[in-house]
Amino acid sequence: MFEGAAALTLDDKGRLSMPARHRETLATQYEGRITLTRHPDRCLVIYPRPVWEAKRAELAQMPFEAREWVRIIVGSARSLELDSAGRVLIPAELRTVAGLERDVVLIGLENRLELWDAATRAEHEKAALEAGVPDAFKRFIF
């Protein structure tokens, strides 16, 4: 469903203009309804609302020792809608925890999108490339 990366810029109000290819999918299949929340890698995750509802149900079944992460993820979730121009206002508290200021990268990953600070994403990618291909990925044939 979602794939590819896009280098974008948050406007002065903290709004993200959704790329046309994602905007169309979100608008037609999900009525522009999305949920944003934190990810352990210090980015934000954007779920279409029905996908988030399934994820939230999974989180509710997590064992007791995962309770702090459940609190972080569910407690940070914000249900939003794309505006008529295909933009979404990223709440200030979520921009802060993800280090989002202006230059961002939006990555489509199947049923969700990740929103990263551009510099942070570049650091993560560089570290992954320097670490080499993990064993679990070596079986993948391009």
Angle, CA 114 vertex, CA 19 and CA 34 arms, to 5° = 70
| Position 104 pLDDT exceeds 90 | yes
| Position 16 pLDDT exceeds 90 | yes
**Mean pLDDT on 104-124:** 97
Whole-prediction pTM value? 0.93
Q: Which residue has the tokens 């996908």?
A: 51
pLDDT 10s digits, 46-56: 999 999 999 99
CA distances from 34 to 19, 49, 60, 87, 103 (A): 15, 5, 19, 12, 21
What domains, with CATH codes, occur in the chain?
2-138 (3.40.1550.20)
| Position 142 pLDDT exceeds 90 | no
137 pLDDT band, cuts 50/70/90, is confident
Listing DSSP states for 89-132 in one string gives: EPPHHHHHHTT-SSEEEEEEEETEEEEEEHHHHHHHHHHHHHH-
